[in-house]
Structure 1
Amino acid sequence: MRPEATLADLQNLALSLALGLLVGLERHRAGKELGMRTFAFTALAGTLAASVEPAYRLAFMLAVLGFTALLVVVNSWQNLRAQESVEITTSVALLLTALNGMLVGHGEIFTPVAATLLMVLLLSWKEELVGWTALVSRDEVHAAIYLGVISFVILPVLPREPVDPWGLFDLRRVWFMVVLISAIGFANYVLLRVYGARGVAYTGFLGGLVNSTATVAEMAVKVGQHPQLERYAFRGVMLAKAAMFLRNGLILGLFAPAALPHGLLPVALMTLVTLVLAARAGDAAGKEPPAVRLASPFSLRSALEFGLLFLILNVVATLGQRHLGAAGFYVVSLLGGMVSSASSAATAANLAAQSRIATDQAAYGTVLASVASALVLVPITRRGARGTGLTRRLVMAIGWMLLAGVVAWAIN
């Protein structure tokens, strides 16, 4: 040991003791045999082992880890003989506490503190985590795995520069858009599952962030089956479109910040109109909101389809801009918005970020794509809610949206 005790040594010992006591307190409250003193002593032992002279440090650290492992084995053997559970989680927590103590002795603060807090959080959330896993379907697990694969396996290995001499096929940028949109959709799908049953406001708004067309289609079918839910469905449709406008504006702002001022007023006014119409629709008193069941927004197939669509729109928009000027880009944005307004918004932002189009063109292209996405809902609702007044309500609402967009465009 070092001959002199310093303030840093005392701070390390105090921190190590606090971390060990914190984990031990949680295990003690959970009724485990290994409690506060055991975890505190283990953390202190790790800190002391990492504080000795460098020539002996490795041997002391291995000795502490070996003794901790032996303690885990003995405790598990006793539990087996008593026909009790082995408590693997507590055993792993004890080993991690020893390692965190060593990090403290090495002079680290953030890593052991963060690791301990996360460990205690996971330990205390046992019931919640077990209950959550029971609610997750097999398809949702696969979707999460696929999202991880496209994010952390495929994206890093893609080339950073366009792969063609014309600069049209930037695979890394295209795939990054796939990852971003897929992650947003998956996160909001989870929120939709959790809060969807609480009312059409959550269903419409969160569903619009995931896929506004699918959300409106499901609501239209519900209205066709239960015409008394028309007011609820109309409110949900308006909230879904408001969410779509906000999402497309967010995409534009994230990837082409300079373009956002040009499109902010049209997006804001059209969003405001949809929110006002949703508020005026009110609640259908005494009626249950229509349950919207969406498939998981992310799968390998949907990711590839989105990537292909984004790539096609990107190439066509670039060629249209090169050979037809702004008019060609606007036509592509309008047609693309009927298929996927998110893809069209991402395409416009991508082209503006690469200086292939002007920032105001990107903004107006995003607005056109959003309007096209709203227009395509008319035949969808007409088919699903045949014989009701939902389509008429939607047409009038779209008229107000277009008026707001034209006014904003004129002001710009």
Structure 2
Amino acid sequence: MEYEDLINLGIAFGLGMLTGLQRQHADSKMAGVRTFTLIAMLGVLSGMLSRVYDSPLIMPAFGLVLGGLLITANVIKNGRSDTPDIGQTTEVAALLMFAIGAYLVMGERMIAVVTGGALAILLYLKDKLHDFIEDLQEKDLAAIMTFAGISLVILPLLPNETFGPLDVLNPRSIWLMVTLIVGISVVGYFIYKFMGARAGTISGGILGGLISSTATTVSYARKTKESGAVHIMAAFVIVAASAVAVIRVLVEVGVVIPQHLPAMILPLLAEFLVLVGICVWIYLRMNRDDSVESVPEPKNPAQFKSALIFGLLYGLILLAVAFIKQEYGNEALYGLAVISGLTDVDAITLSLSQLMRQDRLEISTGWKLILLASLSNLAFKGAMAAVLGTRKLGRWIGISFGLGIGAGLLIIWLWPQNWHL
């Protein structure tokens, strides 16, 4: 007995029931839970028959028969109705479910399962997706189309080879990092679209860190000038956004050098926990009656000009890191990390990660430089908060970021090299 085939039948049964349940709940006249389950199992059996008889014609034959049945059912359904339904969602879903069943046997099981699950979720989210699309503004569409152009048009066209001095400038690699940063910003932007205007204090800090902790600092510092009573809550949001920015750095490192993440994650997580502890302390001191109006609405996160500037900045920092390391050694990189981190942690993080991926920079040095750049950015945001906000906000941020920077420097200085996952 082929237990793998039994497992495939069981998976097809489950995926078919899941999709059919949604279709029947949506009152589909074409197919419901039983029909979709049978279609998925038919796909598995057609794959088995094709494998047993070594014939490439069996699956297409079953697929054509299924297509004919769907066409016939569609004609009968619309012929009995005064208002014909021209939608093809159920028909396409049925054909896809047949293909998923066949792919369980002939292809990768994980891909088939993920596709089946995604199909069920997509069908379930129909109304929410329609509402979301109707609410899109012109700049939202511009963000989507620009990101599509950046990732799906420009990226594949760039050469995947190194050019220039020090052999570190790879156009495709550089643009891939641009795609990563723009993608993170776009995700944060559309999370804001879903909940930004209704975000509470904690959510405001999280969203601020995901979109831009620097922009969040500027916005909330200015709000304390308008209403000085909210300085403690503004301090909480600013520190929370900065804590989330550390997680953003970890995500970038994990995408570029996932194999080295276990050696780097603990000291960066330690700094994150320090900032979280400071957030808890501020939250306990906060007057719950205070309120900050809302998370500042971000600009279009996928502007081509901004993406191009980031790409140039990333390439320059990548070149500078390689040059300084070659000419002056690792010690000189600490100064570059401080300067680069003042306004943009992403570029220096990705540049250092690329060098670590190419084994041009030691992991034990790389995480220290990334953390130092993050601390430099904390100092820069603290200075902005002091200049743009009230004195009370300046004191809260000075104490909070002072503790965070002090803890980070101690981590860089004292963290044992053998403390890693």
Provide the aligned length of Structure 1 versus Structure 2: 403
Tell me: CA distance 1:134–1:353, structure 2 relative to 1, closer, same or farther (3 Å): same
1:395 pairs with 2:395:
no
SS of the aligned residue for 1:292 comes to coil
Give the superposed CA RMSD: 3.8
Tell me: CA distance 1:126–1:322, structure 2 relative to 1, closer, same or farther (3 Å): same
CA–CA distance in structure 2, aligned partners of residues 94 and 120 of structure 1: 11
1:359 pairs with 2:363:
yes
* Aligned match for 2:29, one of 23, 27, 33: 33
- Ranges in structure 1 where 5+ consecutive residues have no aligned partner: 1-5
Q: Could you say which residue in structure 1 is the equivalent of 2:418?
A: none
Q: Could you say which residue in structure 2 is the equivalent of 1:3?
A: none
Q: State which drifts further: 237-246 or 16-25.
A: 16-25
SS of the aligned residue for 1:356 comes to coil
CA–CA distance in structure 1, aligned partners of residues 329 and 71 of structure 2: 70
Q: Could you say which residue in structure 1 is the equivalent of 2:327?
A: 323
CA–CA distance in structure 1, aligned partners of residues 15 and 193 of structure 2: 37
- Ranges in structure 2 where 5+ consecutive residues have no aligned partner: 416-421
CA–CA distance in structure 1, aligned partners of residues 106 and 316 of structure 2: 54
Q: Could you say which residue in structure 2 is the equivalent of 1:275?
A: 276
CA deviations over 1:295-318 (Å, ceiling 9, x no partner) = 243332222221111111111222
Kindly indicate whether the alpha-carbon contact (under 8 Å) linking 1:252 and 1:345 is maintained by their aligned counterparts in 2: yes
Q: How does 1:20-59 map to 2 (within 5 A)?
A: 23-36=19-32, 51=49, 54=55, 57=58
Tell me: CA distance 1:165–1:220, structure 2 relative to 1, closer, same or farther (3 Å): closer
Q: How does 1:255-270 map to 2 (within 5 A)?
A: 255=256, 261=263, 264-265=266-267, 267-270=268-271
Q: Could you say which residue in structure 2 is the equivalent of 1:339?
A: 343
Tell me: CA distance 1:343–1:62, structure 2 relative to 1, closer, same or farther (3 Å): same
Kindly indicate whether the alpha-carbon contact (under 8 Å) linking 1:192 and 1:207 is maintained by their aligned counterparts in 2: no
Q: State which drifts further: 164-173 or 248-257.
A: 248-257
Q: State which drifts further: 54-63 or 87-96.
A: 54-63
| Counterpart AA for 2:318 | N
CA deviations over 1:108-155 (Å, ceiling 9, x no partner) = 977766555443333333222223333443323332333333334333
Q: Could you say which residue in structure 2 is the equivalent of 1:372?
A: 376
Structure 1 position 44, deviation (Å)? 7.6
| Counterpart AA for 2:397 | L
Q: Could you say which residue in structure 1 is the equivalent of 2:162?
A: 162
CA deviations over 1:371-391 (Å, ceiling 9, x no partner) = 221121244223432x44112
Percent identity over paired residues: 25
Q: TM-score when scaled to structure 2?
A: 0.79
Structure 1 position 216, deviation (Å)? 0.7
Q: Based on CA coordinates, which of the two structures has the bigger radius of gyration?
A: 1
Q: TM-score when scaled to structure 1?
A: 0.81
Q: How does 1:191-202 map to 2 (within 5 A)?
A: 191-196=191-196, 197-202=198-203
Structure 1 position 278, deviation (Å)? 1.8
CA deviations over 1:346-394 (Å, ceiling 9, x no partner) = 2222223323333333223212211221121244223432x44112222
SS of the aligned residue for 2:361 comes to coil
